[in-house]
Amino acid sequence: MKLLHVDSSILGDNSVSRQISAGIVEALKAENPGVEVVHRDLAAAPIGHLTGAYLAGQSADVKHDQALQEDLDLGGRALAEFLAADIVVVGAPMYNFAVPSQLKAWVDRILVAGKTFRYTASGAEGLVHGKRVVIAVSRGGTYEGTPASALEHQESWLKGVFGFIGLKDVEVIRAEGVAYGPEAREASLKAALDAAKALHAA
């Protein structure tokens, strides 16, 4: 069994989402002895954003210079890691109402027509099935069930992304209100870590 652990926070050890995603991985490792973990840190080793050259480079007719070939290889590895994983754990903090641009860049490399989805006469069809996806969400404010819910383009977007490619049963462990002061941060983080510890093998 393979587990892909993706982190995207730029805050290092001070990151709430990294602490939660690490707790999720530890719980799932305990439930799945022998699981092979691949950790992709998108802050330490960012994936470049999509370019016209990258998209054109998908064609065999396009001449690849070294930089383009390295970019294509990186995108290919990210996609291969994702496709090979049985479990995907994503650490996703909220930055200005959405996911970090580093995480968006990774998503752009795994949403590939013909690989993870396809368009048919009746619309889009997801091609990825049988993976467990757990998202560690952190955000400074509170959104669910509040007037600010219209500004939440983090958790809902990620659920939409994974659902689009066929993974509709996404688990979320959430820490909200972490910017409301030290006590609120500690309480929210503790609740999220307790939820992570309670995870069981699917």
CA distance 16 to 175: 8
Integer CA distances (angstroms), 30 to 27, 41, 87, 186, 200, in order = 5, 22, 14, 25, 9
**Binding annotation:** 9, 15-17, 94-97, 138-141
Give the number of other Cβ atoms within 10 Å of residue 46's Cβ.
16
The residue type at 42: L
CB 105 within 8 A of CB 48: yes
**Binding annotation for FMN:** 9, 15-17, 94-97, 138-141
